[in-house]
Chains A and B, each alone.
Chain A
Amino acid sequence: MTALIALPVLLPILGAAITVIGSRSPTLQRVVGVVVLLAVSAIAVVLLVESDARGPLVAELGGWAAPVGISLVADRLSALLLLVSALVTLAVLVYAIDQRIADYGRGTVSTTFHPMYLMLSAGVSLAYLTGDLFTLFVAFEIMLTASYVLITRRTSAAKIRAGMTYVTVSLLSSLLFLTAIGLVYAATGTVNLADLAGRIELLPPGLVTVLGLMLLVVFGIKAAMVPLHFWLPDSYPNAPGPVAALFAGLLTKVGFYAMLRTQTLLFHREEPWTLLLVLSVATMLVGALGALAQNDVNRLLSFLLVSHIGFMLFGLAVFDAAGVSGAALYAAHHITVLATLFLVSGLITRRTGTVALDRMGGLARTAPGLAVLFAIPALTLAGVPPTAGFVAKLALLQAGVAAGPWTTAVAGVVIIASLLTLYALARVWVRVFWGEPKPALPDDDPDDEVVVGTAERTPVPMYAATAGLVAVSLAIAVFAGPLSAVTGRAGVDLLDREPYRTAVLGVGP
C-alpha cells in the first residue's frame, strides 16, 4: 500500500520526461498525459479509502525513517485533496488537448505544454503528500515554475505584464518560504513536520508565534489571502482558459492546504485565531467587492476566488475540529467549482470573442447548453442548496456558530460574502446569457494563445470535459454524507495531531 504513495509524484515526472523525449509525437504526449492522470486519480481513490480506514499512510522514501529520510504521508485530508485535484487536472487536460486540436490541428507538437502540465501535477501531488517542510518548498517550486512557464507560454505583448507580476510575486514568496525554513531550522534543527511539531514546543511561546506568522505570510501569498492577494486578479485572467482553470482550481488551494497543515500540526491553539479571523473577513469582503467592480468575466471570477479563500481561512481561524473539517470540505469543493467556471468562461469567450461583460449577451438563447454548464457551478460557488457549495458553507457556519459570539459574527460576514457572490454571478448571468444576442467580436489580441469567436470550432470533448467537472461537483453534493464524514474525521485528526506524528515517527512523542 505505501508503495503507492510515491506514485502520484513520480509518475507525472516520468510522464513529463517521456513527453519531452517523445515530443515529436503529439499522440504519444496526449496518451501519456491522460494515462498518467488517470493512474494518479485511481491511486488517489485507493489512498483515500485506505487512509480513512487505517489512519495516515506513510511511505519512508529510500527506507529511511523520519526524520533522517523524507516521509510522504497520505492522510484523509491530503488524499481527498489529491483525488479532487487529480480529477480536475485530468478534465482540464482533456479540455486543453481538444482546444489545441481545434485551434492548431491534430499534428501540432509542443515541447512545453504537456511536460509542464504534468510537472505541475507532480508538484501539486508532492505538496499534498510531503511530510517535510523543505520538500514542501521543492514541491512548491516544481508547481510554481511549471505554472510560470504555462502562464507565459506564447504570451503576447499585451499579456506579458501579467506573467511578470505573477512570477515576481511568487518568487518573493518562494524566497520568503526559504527564509522561513532557515529560521525554522535555526530554531529547531529539523525540517520534518512531525518532528518539528514536538521540537517547536520547546521554544518560548513568543518565538513559536514568530514562526507561525512567518509561515502564515508565506502560504498566505500562495493562497491569495488579503492583503497578499493583489497578484492574483492581475495575472490569472490573462492566462489561456485551461491554464487559468487549472491555476484557479489548484494553486491557491495548495497554498491553503500548506497553511492548514502547518498551522494545525505545528502551532496548536485552543482558541479561535483572532488575527486570521480578521484576515478572513478582509479576504471575503475585498474579494467579493472586487468582483462587483469588474467587467472582465475572468477577473470577476478571480476576485470571487479570492473571496472564497476567505471562507476557508475562516474555517481554519475557528481552529477546532469542526472548523478545520469545514475548511477541508470547502477546499475540496472549491477546487472543482473554480476550475469549472474558468473552463466555462473559456467556452463563453470562444463564442463571443470577448471577456468584457458589457459586450456580450443572449447566450441563453444561442447556447442553452452553455447556460446550464454555467448555472450549476455558479450556484455551487454561491452556495445555493442543494449544491456542494451549500454543504461546505453549512459546515463552516456550524463551526463558526458553535465556537462563540465572535466567530458567529464572522459567520455573518460569510453570509454577506455569499450574497455578494450571488450578485456578481447573477450579473454575469444577466449580462452574458440574457439580453439581446450579440455577434461574436473579432479576436482583439490575435497574438496570444486564446483563440476566440470560434464557436463552430469548439469540439464536443471540450464541453464534455466541462460537464465532467460539473458532474464531479454534483457528486460532491450527492455524496456529501460520506465526504463530510471523512473531512470530519480528518478535522479531528488534524487537531489531535497524534495520529500524524505517530504514523510518521513511529512512536507518540
Chain B
Amino acid sequence: MTIFDEWDAPREPWMLPGACRRGRTRRLLLEVAARTLFPTMLVFSLYLLLVGHYSPGGGFAAGLVAGLAFVLRHIAGGSVGFGMPVPVRPPVVIGSGLAIAVLTALVPLLVGSPALSSAKLAVDIPLLGPVSAQTSLFLDIGVYLLIVGVVVDLLRSLGAGIERDMREAEEWLP
C-alpha cells in the first residue's frame, strides 16, 4: 500500500523542461529523440493535412500532431529550445489561422456565391503538372495554423508561464 501511496506523489515537479531529476544534465536521449522526431512529426502533420479529404486526418488532426511535436520539443529542450521555428508570437499565428478560415468563408461572397462555398481549383504548376484542390483546403490550412498556434500558446502559458512562476516562487531553479 505504501507503494501505491507514494508512486504518484513525487517530491519533485514533473515534466520540467530540460531538467533531470538530479542535477542539470539534460536528458540526452529525450533531446535526441525530440530533435529527430520534431521534423518527422511536422512532415507527418502536413501529410495528414493534405490527405484529410480522402482518409482520416484533416486540419484538426494535422494541427494536433504538429502541436504535439512542439510539446515534445518543449519538454526536451525547455524554454531554451522553445518557440516557433520562425520568430512570431503565438497569438499572431492563432489570429492568422482564424483570419484565413474566415476569409475562406467570406471570399465566395465576393463572387456571388453563398458564404463558405467551396470550388475545385485546378492550377497548372510548372514541373508538377496540373494540381487540383478543393478551396476548402484553405479552411483546413486555417484550422491547422490555428491549432498549432493554440498548442504553442499553451506551451507559452501553461508551460513556460508556470515555470516562470515557479522560478519566481523559488520552488524550482533550472
Which of A's residues lie within 8 Å of B, judged by CB?
2-3, 6, 10, 13-14, 16-21, 23, 59-63, 111, 115
Contacts and interface: CB of A to CB of B under 8 A. Distances in A.
Contact of A61 (B102, B112, B114): B114
A199 B116 CA distance: 27
Contacts of B94: 20
A18 B96 CA distance: 8
A23 B91 CA distance: 9
Contact of B118 (A18, A19, A60, A62): A62
Interface string B87-118: 00001101110110011011001001111111
Nearest to A122: B102
Given A23-B91, A62-B118, A10 B98 contact: no
16 contacts: A3-B109, A6-B114, A6-B115, A10-B105, A10-B106, A13-B102, A18-B99, A20-B91, A21-B91, A21-B99, A23-B91, A59-B115, A60-B114, A61-B115, A63-B113, A115-B95
Contacts of B92: 20-21
Most chain A beta carbons < 10 A, residue from B106, B115, B117, B118: B115
Contacts of B91: 20-21, 23, 111
Contacts of B99: 14, 17-18, 21
Contact of B96 (A3, A21, A62): A21
A14 B105 CA distance: 10
What is the predominant secondary structure among interface residues of chain A facing chain B? Answer: helix
Contacts of A20: 91-92, 94-95, 98
Given A6-B114, A16-B98, 9 more contacts: A6-B105, A6-B109, A10-B115, A21-B92, A23-B91, A60-B114, A61-B114, A63-B113, A111-B91
Contacts of B115: 3, 6, 10, 59, 61-62
B116 A62 contact: yes
Top 7 nearest A-B pairs (CB, nearest first) are A20-B95, A17-B99, A6-B115, A17-B98, A21-B95, A62-B116, A17-B95
B167 to A, nearest CB: 22
Nearest to B106: A10
Interface in B113-133: 113-118
Given A16-B98, A20-B92, A23-B91, A2 B114 contact: yes
Contact of B98 (A3, A6, A13): A13
A10 B118 contact: no
Contacts of B106: 10, 14
Q: Do most interface residues of chain B lie in helix, strand or loop, or is the interface mixed?
A: helix
A21 B92 CA distance: 5
A6 B103 CA distance: 12
B171 to A, nearest CB: 19
Most chain A CB atoms below 10 A, which of B102, B103, B106, B117: B102
B114 A62 contact: yes
B101 to A, nearest CB: 8
A461 to B, nearest CB: 27
A374 to B, nearest CB: 39
Nearest to B103: A14
Given A20-B92, A21-B95, A111-B91, A14 B114 contact: no
Contacts of B103: 14
Contacts of A23: 91
Contacts of A61: 114-116
A20 B102 CA distance: 14
Nearest to B98: A17
* Most interface-central of A3, A60, A115 (chain B CB within 10 A): A3
Contacts of A2: 114
Contacts of B109: 3, 6
A63 B111 CA distance: 13
Interface centre among A16, A59, A63 (most CB of B within 10 A): A63
B114 A59 contact: yes
A62 B112 CA distance: 12
A17 B116 contact: no
A460 to B, nearest CB: 33
A19 B95 CA distance: 8
A63 B96 CA distance: 25
B13 to A, nearest CB: 23
B146 to A, nearest CB: 9
A6 B104 CA distance: 13
